[in-house]
Amino acid sequence: MVLLAHIRAEFMTSQETYGSPRMTAELNEDGIAVSRHRVARLMRNNGLEALQKRRYKKTTDSDHTGPVHRTAQTHGPTGATAPGTARR
């Protein structure tokens, strides 16, 4: 049970992102000799599941050959009206 307390403390310190390999490395650095399989079993049995951070996903394809909407043609990248095309 003392080992589980160390695992939970390290898990919270890592903001719930450390899985069993990194958790084992951290515990071994702290002087606690433990195997990855034991840490994985304890984490699994106690519901400690590592969260993965979301990766950035580009959602705009600016390099395409399709037609451009007319508002994008009259307005620049800042949204300002192009000279000679002022709205009334």
How confident is the model over 40-80, as pLDDT tens digits?
Answer: 999 999 999 998 877 888 887 777 787 877 775 565 566 56
- Answer yes or no: is pLDDT of 82 > 80: no
Domain that holds residue 32: 2-45
**Model pTM?**
0.59
Burial code of 54-78, b = ≥16 C-beta within 10 A, e = fewer? Answer: eeeeeeeeeeeeeeeeeeeeeeeee
pLDDT over threshold 60, residue 7? yes
Answer whether residue 28 is part of any domain: yes
Q: Tell me, yes or no, whether 85 lies in a domain.
A: no
Report residue 70: phi and psi, to 5°: -65, -30
pLDDT for residue 5: 94
The mean-pLDDT minimum among 22-26, 27-31, 73-77 falls in 73-77
Residue type, 36: R
Classify residue 58: in a domain, yes or no: no
Domain count, the chain: 1
